[in-house]
Structure 1
């Protein structure tokens, strides 16, 4: 019985919250009017601001896994449709749910570099229309120990999502819409148990 209980005791649960600032984003796909493909769609939104909360746990010293919820918002002033620039003047809002993990390259100490990744879903809202698609993320950064039960992550993240089609109204649709962000962020984490 003691041998079976040992693995469960190695899990240290935590909750976290953070903010992020996007340095580069892209939104692209192909425009279709009815059944006719009229060319590509591309937009470069302004900087995205995001906030997230997450819950998960450390599984031993090197591995952490969590479920994260992130809300992001960016301004979109113009876009290129079929080679022609046009004024859009709208906002892009995203709600992303990810199952993700981090691998601590250096498992001990007050400064621990890590790499991570995750998959999930992302809802993209633009111009009053919303679509949900597959989302993915890759990250790299450092975890800083600031108190016995408090960590701070400083990380860079690449997040992307793809939806099958985005109906813009009046018979116009954007197929294969892809939204990608590169962002930096800071996350504060509280551990509900002793650090391993």
Structure 2
């Protein structure tokens, strides 16, 4: 992303911490070494690895091998309730295509008079299928490039439109990932 720190701070939702993260990523990609002041290991870690201390705490006892595994289905026949956190799915399995994303962003930018884009208008303007438009707008909203309901460009979307339309820079992708 070739935008300056001052330009990035003007974008709604981007704070100094985000700009610092972007600078760190840029430094890591350009130098290959960690920036000055960031140690790869602390002194305590290196001493412990050289002189391991015996563990004085009680260790966990492993279950006996004769113990049968826990049943996967409850006794009453109902499957166990899911306790895992649901996954965030924004693309329905559709992979990000930079050229199609660029086509979508360009079409949106070419029509500043439209307050809210209908999916049909985006389909006609970009030449993409309905599922593609749905997935691209969802991915764009997840990346912070377009507003979720209106499909209007966000300030970050406008910056990317001007500076890295085809998402060529890995820094741009990493920055969008961490937003």
Structure holding more helix per residue: 2
> Is the radius of gyration larger for structure 1 or structure 2?
2
Structure holding more strand per residue: 1
Regarding TM over 0.5, the answer is: no
* TM range, smaller chain: under 0.3
**TM-score if structure 2 supplies the norm length?**
0.19
